[in-house]
Amino acid sequence: MTAADFQLAQDRFFQRCGLRAESRFVDVPSISGRAHVIVAGEGPPVVMVIGGGGLAAMWAPLMAELAGFRLYAIDRPGFGLTETVAHTTSGIRSMAVRFLEQVLDGLGLGTPQFVTNSMGSTWSIWLALDRPSRVPSMVQIGCSAWILDTSAPFPIRLLSIPPVGRVMMRMQPPSPGQAEKLFRMMGEDISEMPEFRDLFVVGEQLPDYGPTWLDLLHAGLRLRGVRPEVSLAADQLGRLSQPVQLIWGRSDPFGSPEVGMEVARCIPNSELHLVEGGHTPWLSRARAVAELARPFLHQHSASPTATTVPTKKDG
């Protein structure tokens, strides 16, 4: 598959979601290449960082519901149309921080708010800890990767073992059935979203996707769970000064609602909301997720340096 094939599939998914958006590319020195960013809407800036082997275009259903903001959805290195870079256990945090900061600089953004998912949440937490002035607030949707000793479903941990992962990917090449099975493992049903399913399959067929996905998993996971070098521990979460809204799927296989409650207890200025769905609940419940995120984003775009909001723990 080519970048042109990917963009055609991306456009079809945008049409399904009723989203008007454009692609932008920015130079990123830390990857010696360019990052792909999807831009939509008008208003205060919000940067969206997807997780795992996800694609920035996965945010399209939620972007269509977040009127009133200028939205920037980023393909992380090696996924979608962003060029790849090495992912190593010792270097992933510094690479993630440099990458996100340089993308912000390339877009001319000083302190945008963040909407994040899974690995995108972990990368954004690292940025918030290492460059706190760049991250005024965050909406984190789904369990953050590698947080509080959480891990990943067993098949994903198997993929983190290089020779095993390569065999598994050869045995289950990208296909509509494989994509649907992957998302069922994440607690989501995409069988009624053929445009998204087809986009994801095309994304998996891009040249950098498979090798980058395996390198990323190996950098952070081993068979028995997360590598301690990259784990987000309670003391790190306790150092976050930014307001954080946690939107947690009740059926998220990466972390139960009880994990969400513990994360909320660790982050001083946080609020937790539980919603129906799995690891990416906005795919099928974008309006419900947007109704939670929108007031939070409006509140903190009006006062981006605010340091206190009431902590709320929902059901």
Identify any residues that bridge with 245 across adjacent strands, giving them in sequence order.
139, 271
pTM: 0.93
- Given this model, what pLDDT does residue 302 score? 58
Residue-wise burial string across 132-146, b where 16 or more C-beta atoms lie within 10 A, e elsewhere: eebbbbbbbbbbbbb
Would you state the pLDDT for residue 313? 36
Q: What is the pLDDT of residue 254?
A: 96
Q: What are φ and ψ of residue 313, in 5° steps?
A: -115, 110
Phi-psi region of 277 (alpha: psi -120 to 50; beta: other; left: phi over 0): left
- Bridge partners of 141, per DSSP, are 117, 247
Q: What is the pLDDT of residue 301?
A: 86
How far are the Cα atoms of 33, 120, 239 from residue 78, in angstroms, in the given order?
11, 14, 30
The H-assigned helical ranges of the chain are: 3-17, 60-63, 92-107, 119-130, 154-159, 162-171, 176-185, 194-204, 209-220, 234-238, 257-266, 282-302
The rounded distance, in Å, linking the Cα atoms of 225 and 154 is: 9
pLDDT digits (tens, 9 = 90+) for 125-172: 999 999 999 999 999 999 999 999 898 889 999 999 999 999 999 999
Nearest of 202, 135, 155 to residue 174 by alpha carbon = 202
56, 75 Cβ separation under 8 angstroms: yes
Residues of the chain where predicted confidence (pLDDT) is lower than 50: 303-315
> What are 228-243's pLDDT values in tens digits?
999 999 999 999 999 9
Contacts of residue 173, defined as CB under 8 A and 6 or more positions apart, other chains included, come to none
Q: What is the pLDDT of residue 151?
A: 86
Residue 207 tokens read as 């040249």
Q: Residue 108 in 3-state DSSP? A: coil
Taking alpha carbons only, the member of 282, 314, 299, 287 closest to residue 54 is: 282
Residue 149 is predicted with a pLDDT of 84
CATH tag, 3-299: 3.40.50.1820
Round to whole Å and give the CA distance between 59 and 228.
30
